Each structure stands twice: as structure tokens, then as C-alpha cells.
Structure 1
Amino acid sequence: MFVGILALLGLFGQSMATNMHRVGITPGFGFLARPTNFEIGETLIAYSSQSSFARAILVGLVNTLVVSFVGCVIATILGVALGVARMSSNPLLAGSVRAYVELIRNTPLLLQLFFWSATFHALPSARKALQPVEGVFLSNRGIYIPALRFESGLAEILAAAGILAAILLLLRGRRIGLSFRARALGSGAGLAILFLLLALSGLARAELPALKGFNIVGGLSLTPEFAALVVGLFVNSSALVAEIVRSGIQSVPQGQWEAARSLGLHPGQIFRLVILPQALRVITPLMTSNYLSLTKNSSLAVAIGYPDLVSIINTAANQTGQALETIIIMVAVYLAISFSVSIAMNRYNARQALKGLSR
């Protein structure tokens, strides 16, 4: 049977190669070095219409990774808060969270993305932009928030070094006998001091957006497409995270709560020091699947006009006719992202399991 499948695939490949040759298309990945001759509306790295298709695909990959990372971080924070609130003794709070979770989980993600896209495009013009807080503007041209501007490449290097040092401190703090709280405070203080020094030395400065004429200038601008995609993804994912957190907390035996209370710990300490570490062994595997789903769901960006990996690869396929090659690239990239996330989360899960056994 396996030999038969290989034979069918071989015949299919030969037929496709013949058809491509007949219409003047050369099979292979040589098209990646050719100029694209099309623009991309939103890029985080340097790109022009004379850039290669490989560069364009890299732009799409970076856009996808940024959206996925931001979505995962915000979904985790919001989902944990909702999951804890879901177990509140206050019936109004618990009922509101339950209604939110049921509404989000029982409506299609694509429909939610259309809703958020329409919402952000329905915002007022720049001259009448909403300003919920100082330094934040909401308009149909995008969302404008304060930004930290670096005046030199040295500042960017120092900032990157500070962030890397903070991450390493968080990951390895336990090995030098620091508690999680001390590691978090130390990292946050280190980053705050770093940015303060940069600002005082003139290497970096805070830039607030401001209304000038018919437009908003300064700060960091987020396009309506980017904002709609990120909000749609983290809102949808947060409902799932809330249920995961709730089930993880409820998996901890009630006796653990009673034992912690008998030691005189207040509710915050009980949750942080006793319940959450045990719940993480249940939460982490499910969170892995949730992160993978969010990353793959970002491909729906093509429906609301955000230039993610799928959108740019589709454009490349239409421009070059290399449909098979572009699909292979897309599959390979998403597999690489999924395997990377799975490996990282599985390693973290293994560490949590080993800590549980050591206790």
C-alpha cells in the first residue's frame, strides 16, 4: 500500500511538472531570489517592491510571530484573571465571567475578527479621535500609544541586553536560592533602572502621540487591521485560558486550601504559594495546545487584510504561479513554529513535573 501511495505521488508530481513546463513555469524555489514588484502595507523590517520573494515571506513570518506572541501574552494575563474571577464567591462577578466565556466560545473566531475589524474602522477620524487616557488615541487610522524612542544603536543594544538579563534571571533565579517573587521584582527593577538610565543619558526618550492638524503624530501607531487581529485572537483565546485555569485550580484537593489556612496564610499567599504551583502541572499541557491554536488561527488575518505569512504567500503564489512550492514553504514554516512552541512548553512542563516529584 505504501509503495502504491508513493507511485501515485510520483505520477502526480510528474504530471504537475509537465503542466508547469507547458505554461512556462520552472519548478523549484528559484523564484525566491526574484523581485516581488508589490508593496506590503505593514512591515516591521525593511522592505520595498524590489525586495525578493524570500524577503517578502520573511516580512510575513515576522508579522505572524509578533501577532502570535502579543496575543499569547495578553490572552494568558486576561485568561488567568478571568479564570480566578470565575471561581469568585460573588455571583455577579462569576456569572458575568461565565457569560463572557460562553459567548466567546460559542461564536466562530472569523466572525469575531470581522466584528473587531468593523469596530476599529468605525472609530472617529483622527481630528475627533477618542482619548480614553492621556497619550492614547483611538481613531479609524489606528491606535496610537506612547513609545520609547532610542536615539542610537547603542541604546538598542543596551536595552536588548537588559531584557535578556532579566529573562535569564527569571529562568535561573531558583538555582541561586531566590523566590519567584524576588526574581520578578529584581527583573522589573533592573529593567526600570535600565530604561531610566537610558532616558537620563539621552539615549532614549518617551514619545507621546499628539494631534497635529488632520493627523496624529508621534508615539507608536497600530493599524486597525493589526489591532483587530490581536484583539480578536486574545479575546477568543482568553476564554479558553479562563476555563483551563479554572479546571486546574479545581483539580487541587480542598485539603490543600484548609492546610494552608491552618498555617495562617491569607488568600493571596495561599493561591500564589500553594494552589498555583500545583495547578500549573494541569494547566501547562492544555496551555500548550491553546498557544498552538492561537498561532495557527493568526492565519485568518488574510480575511481582514493584515499582511501575515499566509496573505503574503498567497500573493507570491498568484504572482509566480509556484503554488506547490509556496504551499510547501507555508507548511514547513508553520510546522517549525508549532514544533518550537511544543518543545519549549514541554520542557517547561517537564520541569514542573520534576518539581512536583521532588516535593
Structure 2
Amino acid sequence: MTIATPEPARRKRSRSPLTRERLTGLVWQIVVVGIAIALVAWLWSNAIHNLSVRRISTGFAFLGREAGMPIADAWIDYSPKNTYLRAFIVGLVNTLRIAVIGIVLATVLGTIVGIARLSSNWLLSRLAAVYVEVLRDLPLLLQLLFWYVLMQGLPAARAAWMPIDGVYLSNRGLILPSIPIGEGHLWVIGTVVAGLIASYALNRRLIARQLLDGRPRRLWPYALVLVLGLPALVSWGLGVSWTITLPELRGFNFVGGLTLSPEYFALLVAVVTYTSAFIAEIVRSGIQAVHQGQWDAAMALGLRRSFVLRHIVLPQALRVIIPPMTSQYLNLTKNSSLAVAVGYQDIVSIANTTLNQTGQAIEAIALIMAVFLTISLGISLFMNWYNARIALVER
């Protein structure tokens, strides 16, 4: 008696035949792609022909020429004698100043307002609701102009407001104490960042070992050495000075310190408050998406509401919060292009000036698109990676 053995699974898998419907669909896809490529090629050749007829040069060789444009608010060394490439780098830094700092501040403010909307305090929740509804319903450009006009209406430098010693607010902008940053400071900051990364990796390892043997292990001695001790040693070895420079009023302006121009300050406040209103609603809906039973079980154990919110509810709510939060980060980055409305020289403003001076319209616009595309893809990749890290893993 012979027993029939089943064929291997790979033999059972037979490719489905290329039916008429699939063949038709493949042909149509090829046709559509071919039409799209032909259309792009025709537009490109037409643009090149029109530019050559008007004797307008093409290419990015203009980036090596002298820019001749002044940039008032630059965080890196720049003069009008520098090249257009240097001017574009300054504009990129100015755009990143708005995007990165704006994302951090909008996240913090939006989270606070979103939690406040769920507060049992009637007055606090109503104030948070008014904040959200008013800022979401007003156009961002209108809010930007409001803050800019408000900054222009502040007193002159000699009559500047001083809410805190060493901090001045006037129509010259917000002036803060600062620490001059040199090469040695950058090495120390890099050491701090490396220490934070090492502390995070060590914390995961300690948690994994605790799950194996049940013995808790303290992270803070190692983190203290990595984040404070090692940077302090590097700072001492390089002889880095951490002297704080206080601003002083000399004549009609301030000398020293860190100056946030009225244009930058107005744009930052506008995009942060506007985006935080949307983030507040995302945080509120994410917290409400967590089942009420989680709260009830934690309260039955006698845990504090603040502890329950930080360690039980918010980690679960993040799985709902992160995807729409990514969209708000992208919106904030793209909304920074409204800087041209108040004269803040970001990448869009500098590209427009370059376009008017050189006539390189296609190249200038292409650089703007490349910058925003790169920043947006970077934000999306990071947020997608983080979303995958906190996602539930099915067994």
C-alpha cells in the first residue's frame, strides 16, 4: 500500500495565466506612462526653446556669481559679496529656524491645550475651546499680519519693555541673553547629543535585562556620566568658555545678546499658535480614543490622574495621534513660505529676489521645490519610523 505524499507548497503555487483583462490593463498602463513622459518631454523642450529665443541662459551656473543682495536676519556669516549659493544656504537655514523650532513649540503648546480641553475645570476647558476655535477659524496670513503689526506698534528701543532682567521687547524684536557659539561649543553639544543617544540605547538594554531576571536597574548614574560628565570633560579639555552675553542699549539699538527680528518673531508666533490649535484637537481626540476602562482600572488601583495620563493613556493615544500630527508638521513647514508677506528672508524670499536679478525662473523655483520636498520627506520618514516603533505588534 502506497501513501501519496503531498507536493511541496511551491509546486502548488501556479502562476495565474495572463488573461485578456490583465493584458488590457497592462497595455493601458504602458500607454498612460508613455503619454505622461511625452508630455513632460514636450513641456521641457518647449521651455528650453522659449528661453533660447529670449536669450535667457539656463542651468545653475549663476549660483557661483556674486549675489549682491543684503540679508538682514542671518544666523551664518554672509555679505552681499557672497555668491547666490551662499544666499540660498542662508535662506535654507532661516526656513529651518521656523520649521524646527515651530514644530517643537507647536507640539508642546498644542499638547497642553488639548489636555486642558479635557480638564474637569470648567473655566480652563472653555478657555482652551475658545483658543482652538478662534485660531482655527482665522486665516494664517491674517494672523501673521496681526502679529507683525503688533510688533511694529511696540515702543522704540530706548523705551523697550523688560519683563525679565536682560530680556527686552521692542519694535526691534525680542532681544535675549546669549552664549557665543564657537567650534568648541559645537563639540560639546555633539557630545551631549551622543550621550543622549547612548543613554537611550542603554535604557532599552536595562529594561530588557529587567524583563529577564526581574531585577530593576537604575539608569541615572550612567546617564549622569554620559550626558553631563563626559561633555563637562570635553569642555574642560578644549577650554570652552560659557560666558553669557547680556544685551546692552547703545544709541538707538541693542548690542550683544540674541536678537529675534520682528519679522521672525511674528512669523514664529503665528505658525506656532495656528498649528497648535489643530494639534490640540488631535491630542484631545487621541486621548478620548483610549477606552474608558483604562482610566477606570488605573483609578481603581489608586494611581494619580497625572500618572495615568503620562504612563498609561498617552502611550496608547500616540498610535492615533502620530499620523495626523505628521500632516500638521508638514503644514507648518510649508506655511513658513508666508514669510515673504512680512519681509522675513527665507528660502522663498531669497529665491524670488534671485529670480528678479538673474531671470533664472525655472532654476529658482526648482530649488524651492527641492528644499521643501527634502524637508517634507525627512519629516515624513522620521514620523513613519516613530509610528512603526510604537505600533502594536501582533503575535
Fold agreement, TM-score > 0.5: yes
Q: Give the number of the structure whose alpha-carbon radius of gyration is greater.
A: 2
For residue 145 of structure 1, what is the aligned residue in structure 2? 176
For residue 328 of structure 1, what is the aligned residue in structure 2? 366
Deviations 1:160-205 (A, max 9, x none): 32134225534663333399x967x957994599579959x76111
How is 1:66-85 mapped onto 2 (pairs within 5 angstroms)?
66-85=97-116
- Preserved CA contact (<8 Å) 1:281 1:349: yes
Kindly state the Cα deviation for residue 262 of structure 1 after the two structures are TM-superposed: 1.5
- State which drifts further: 14-23 or 70-79: 14-23
The alignment status of 1:120 with 2:158, answered yes or no, reads no
Unaligned runs of 5+ in 2: 1-31, 209-215
Kindly state the Cα deviation for residue 12 of structure 1 after the two structures are TM-superposed: 2.9
The equivalent position to 1:302 in structure 2, one of 331, 340, 352, is 340
Deviations 1:286-336 (A, max 9, x none): 111111110011011111100111111111111111111221221122111
For residue 98 of structure 1, what is the aligned residue in structure 2? 129
For residue 20 of structure 1, what is the aligned residue in structure 2? 51
- Preserved CA contact (<8 Å) 1:198 1:204: no
Which stretches of structure 1, 4 residues or longer, exceed 4 Å deviation after superposition? 185-189, 191-199
- Preserved CA contact (<8 Å) 1:146 1:206: yes
How is 1:1-359 mapped onto 2 (pairs within 5 angstroms)?
1-150=32-181, 153-170=183-200, 173-177=203-207, 186=223, 190=227, 203-353=241-391, 356-357=392-393
Amino acid at match of 1:162: V
Distance 1:13 1:138 in 2: 50
Task: Decide whether aligned partners of structure 1 residues 214 and 39 sit closer, same or farther in structure 2, where only a CA change above 3 A counts.
Answer: closer
- Matched positions, count: 354
Amino acid at match of 1:18: H
Unaligned runs of 5+ in 1: none
- Preserved CA contact (<8 Å) 1:148 1:204: yes
Distance 2:172 2:233 in 1: 31
Q: What secondary structure, in the 3-state scheme, does the structure 2 residue paired with 1:177 have?
A: helix
Q: What secondary structure, in the 3-state scheme, does the structure 2 residue paired with 1:15 have?
A: helix
Amino acid at match of 2:183: G
Amino acid at match of 2:282: I
Task: Decide whether aligned partners of structure 1 residues 56 and 149 sit closer, same or farther in structure 2, where only a CA change above 3 A counts.
Answer: closer
Distance 1:212 1:224 in 2: 19
Distance 1:158 1:46 in 2: 21
- Preserved CA contact (<8 Å) 2:114 2:281: yes
| TM-score (ref. length: structure 2) | 0.82
- Preserved CA contact (<8 Å) 2:102 2:332: yes
CA RMSD of aligned residues (A): 2.7
Task: Decide whether aligned partners of structure 1 residues 188 and 95 sit closer, same or farther in structure 2, where only a CA change above 3 A counts.
Answer: farther
- Preserved CA contact (<8 Å) 2:184 2:240: no
Deviations 1:104-161 (A, max 9, x none): 00010011100111111111001100111222110001101121234x5323311332
Q: What secondary structure, in the 3-state scheme, does the structure 1 residue paired with 2:169 have?
A: strand
- Preserved CA contact (<8 Å) 2:116 2:128: yes
Distance 2:355 2:283 in 1: 41
Distance 1:58 1:155 in 2: 22
- State which drifts further: 169-178 or 46-55: 169-178
- Preserved CA contact (<8 Å) 2:196 2:226: no
Distance 2:144 2:282 in 1: 23
